Copies of this chain bind each other. A is one copy, B any other.
Amino acid sequence: MTIYDVAREAGVAASTVSRAFSRPGRVNAATAERIREAAGRLGYRTNPLARALVTTRTHMLALAVPDVTNPVFAEVIRGAQAAAGDAGYTVLLADAQESGVRERASLERILSVVDGVVLAGSRMSDSAIRMLAKQKPVVVLNRAVVDVPCVVTDNERGARLVAEHLAGLGHESLAYVAGPEASWADGARWTALREAAADLGLQVRRHGPCTPDVPGGLRAAGELRGRSATAVVAYNDQQAIGLLRGLTAQGLRVPRDVSVAGFDDIDAAALVTPGLTTVAAPLRAEGTTAVRHLLAMVQGAAGHTGAPLVLPVRLVVRGSTAQRRRKRTSPASGTTRVSGSAR
């Protein structure tokens, strides 16, 4: 089923068939109708590859994520997918598997067939990204890279919200469990948290780096043992959940003995016990805005490489944070439970 078959069926030249589809108005309405009908009869579908070969537009976008199984990115993917689909674009996923090298490799493979790239939580170096941005339109998500269009969440405000929340509960000494070193968001969150803490007169210590997953949080719980912090803020929710479990396993009670908070508000945050207090990021929206920006660039607009576009966050308070209690007595032994409201 090629354009030539349709042309023969409709009694016109192939070029006319092509125009009938891609350039409405360029051919006579009646002829166009006749062609469309012939195409329908033959079940003709235009071959995207052939088209792409000459137009150099594939209508495909690359989306690189550090880990497909990370629920944070699952939502981002869905958002990106939706926005792309609406515009008639298809998303190619590049799973970096938490490695800058593999990220480069999988991008390398698909780079030549896509019209643009969204880098979500990229583990590549700034210069590698800038290099990439020279070849194809690129939008970076959750990271700021000079000279490249970026979309980020409001980490500053998020960190400040947690800090204020914890300060309001009487906590004076915080711990921050860090994410991967290559993560820009980690830096942003830590810096903002430290500043907010300073403003509020709180102590805050950094631990890590730890892997941004549940095991990472578990390990962090071990390292935190015996520290004086009465509240722990984790780089992300998975770590925070790991913390919840690790601290509990040590005989500590959350939030009675120690408060825990995370970032992102993944689904699981509401499912663990106690529910996790966290800074909710508009994950779906991150995906859609990134793609929309990218599409704007692909379609001509010179990507504004100024300040990153900042998406708002909000604090979701659940059961994992509570009023600070004066000194815990014997942290390890099982004391009589009083009532234990799950929230």
In the complex, residue of chain B having the shortest beta-carbon distance to the beta carbon of A46: B112
Residue interface bits A217-244, CB-to-B below 8 A is 1, else 0: 0000000000000000000000001000
| CA gap between A85 and B96 in the complex, in Å | 12
Smallest distance from the beta carbon of A208 to chain B beta carbons, Å? 20
Smallest distance from the beta carbon of A286 to chain B beta carbons, Å? 14
Instruction: Out of B68, B241, B273, name the residue touching A74 (CB < 8 Å).
Output: B68
- Residues facing B in A51-102 (CB within 8 A) are 52-53, 58, 68-69, 71, 74-75, 77-78, 81, 85, 88, 90-93, 95
Chain A interface size band reads 35 or more
Smallest distance from the beta carbon of A62 to chain B beta carbons, Å? 10
| CA gap between A50 and B90 in the complex, in Å | 19
Number of copies: 2
In the complex, residue of chain B having the shortest beta-carbon distance to the beta carbon of A339: B334
| CA gap between A45 and B113 in the complex, in Å | 11
Instruction: Out of B53, B81, B112, B267, name the residue touching A53 (CB < 8 Å).
Output: B53
- Residues facing B in A92-137 (CB within 8 A) are 92-93, 95, 106, 109-110, 112-113
23 interchain pairs (CB within 8 A)? A48-B112, A48-B113, A49-B49, A49-B53, A49-B58, A53-B53, A68-B74, A69-B75, A69-B267, A77-B93, A81-B93, A85-B109, A91-B92, A91-B93, A214-B267, A214-B271, A241-B271, A248-B342, A268-B268, A268-B271, A271-B271, A271-B272, A273-B273
Shortest beta-carbon contacts, A-B, top 3:
A273-B273, A69-B74, A81-B95
